[in-house]
Structure formats: structure tokens, C-alpha cells
Chains A and B, each alone.
Chain A
Amino acid sequence: MTGPRPETGPGPGPEEAPAEAGARAAGEAPAGEKRGGHPRHDLAPLLNAPVRLSVVAALVPLDKAEFGFVRDLVEVSDSVLSKQVAALEEAGWVAVRKGRVGRRPRTWLSLTAEGRAVYQRHLAALRAIALG
């Protein structure tokens, strides 16, 4: 249901460098593009990548989730998830914490308050675009 999918909208794809994505993360319009009243200006470019949007959506109802839980839910490989999480962490939207349960190391992912707010704005913009 939620596996990796082709790009569905404008903006950086999953393969975009985190630094470039981070610079565009907050939804700023690229140089030369005027911001207007169109809801697409409220989209967060970093979330236009399906995998990143899926990761954030999976974390929204949760306090924290183990890396493997998100990987299984989003249906991506460890390396793909790791790369996307790094981009989201660099943007300050996802927090990564390493810990242990018994002898087993665990990596916990959680959404920051900023990440939650950006996601809500992104969803509101998508709804506005969907309604035309």
C-alpha cells in the first residue's frame, strides 16, 4: 500500500542531496519565482518526495517509532530510509535517537514540533490544490 512510488509532484526527489533539500525545506520559493496566493507556495518541497512524505506521515500519530517499524510501514530498504531520514533530520523535522533494549541496539525516530507543523501546512496545501 505504501511502497516507494514514482515522483508525484514538483520539488526534490528522494535522490536529491540533503543539503540542497534542506535549503528548500521550509517551503521557500526558488530564486526568481514569485510567491503568490496559490496553495502550492505552502507546499514544503522536501515533502514532495513520496518516501519522505510517507516517513513523516507514519510518524505523525506516534511519539516515537523504531527505524525498522517505519521501514516496514513505508516499505523501503534500510539504506533508502536512512538517506531520507538524514535529509529530514538535517531539516530539523525528524529527531533520531539511538538506544538499547537489552542487548539489542535500537534507533528511534520521532517527529519534531517543527516537522509536525510543516506537515500540517503541507497537507492543508495539498487539500487546497486537490479542491482546485
Chain B
Amino acid sequence: MSDSERAVGALGRAVGLEKAARARSGWYARYLWIFAAGQLVLVPVSLLWHGPASAVFFALANTLLVTGLSVYAARQRVVRRGFGLKHGLLIGSWATVFGLAVVLGTTVFTDDVAFAAAAALGCALPPALGAWSESRGTA
């Protein structure tokens, strides 16, 4: 076997391994899709449903979502490169939009269904974009 053929073989193996590692590290996309879906429920609940029952439901649902996702993340065997920065940026973006939605939804747009729907989509957007970008990196 010539040096050139050996080099091609080694290159093929290395590229194949890199692809396989990416393909098996796609858990963060699932994490973000679930987080985005949770926003579509939790944000309207927090803006439109008032009273003690709403508070209890919001607290339970939010605790379930955050705990479930945290346990899911902690059990993973692999962390993709740049995860910390990406996660920080995504959660920071989500927190900014969520904070803005709560402030505006309780002061300017009180009980406004259209605003609550837009706010839910706005809060779901950062994790959904992150999930889409992660899915592309896995392919």
C-alpha cells in the first residue's frame, strides 16, 4: 500500500470519527426544543391566568421543566465544543425576552391575548433557534 493510500485511509477514518462524534452528541438540540415548547405554555399562563391556582401551576410546571432538563443534561456522556458559551448566550437571550414579556405583560398589555401569544413565541425563539443550529451541526 502506498503512502498516499495510507494517508487517504487515515483521513477517511478521522473524518468519519469526527462526524460520528457530532452525530452522537445531539442531545442539546432535544433539550432546547423541549425548553422552547415549554415557553409556549408557561408564558401565556404567567401573563393571562391570575390567582393562586395559576401560581401553583406555574411553579410546578416550571420546576418540572427545569428539573427534568437539568437531570437530562447532567446524564449526558458528551458535551459539544463551545457548549458553555452557546448555552450562556441562549439562556441570557431567553431571560431578557422573558423579563421584558413579564414587565410589559403586567403593566402595558395586561390580559392582552395577542401580546401573550407574541410573548410566548418571542420566548420560544432563542431556544428554538439554538435547537435548529444544533441540529444542523449534528447532520
Tell me the A residues contacting B by CB distance below 8 Å.
Answer: 1-2, 5, 8-9, 40, 48, 50, 53-54, 57-66, 68-69, 73-74, 101, 123, 126-127, 129-132
Contacts and interface: CB of A to CB of B under 8 A. Distances in A.
Given A126-B11, A130-B8, A66 B21 contact: no
A62 B81 contact: yes
A64 B7 CA distance: 27
Given A9-B6, A62-B79, A2 B25 contact: no
A123 B24 contact: no
B10 A58 contact: no
B29 to A, nearest CB: 14
Given A57-B17, A63-B84, A126-B7, 5 more contacts: A53-B13, A62-B79, A63-B82, A73-B24, A101-B74
What band does the interface of chain B fall in when counting residues whose beta carbon is under 8 Å from A? 20 to 34
B18 A58 contact: yes
A63 B79 CA distance: 5
> What 7 pairs across the A-B complex have the smallest Cβ distances?
A57-B17, A129-B7, A66-B77, A57-B14, A69-B77, A130-B7, A63-B79
Nearest to B1: A8
Interface in B22-62: 22, 24-25
A58 B17 contact: yes
7 contacts: A9-B10, A50-B13, A62-B21, A62-B81, A63-B82, A66-B77, A130-B11
Given A8-B10, A65-B79, A101-B75, A129 B21 contact: no
A63 B80 contact: yes
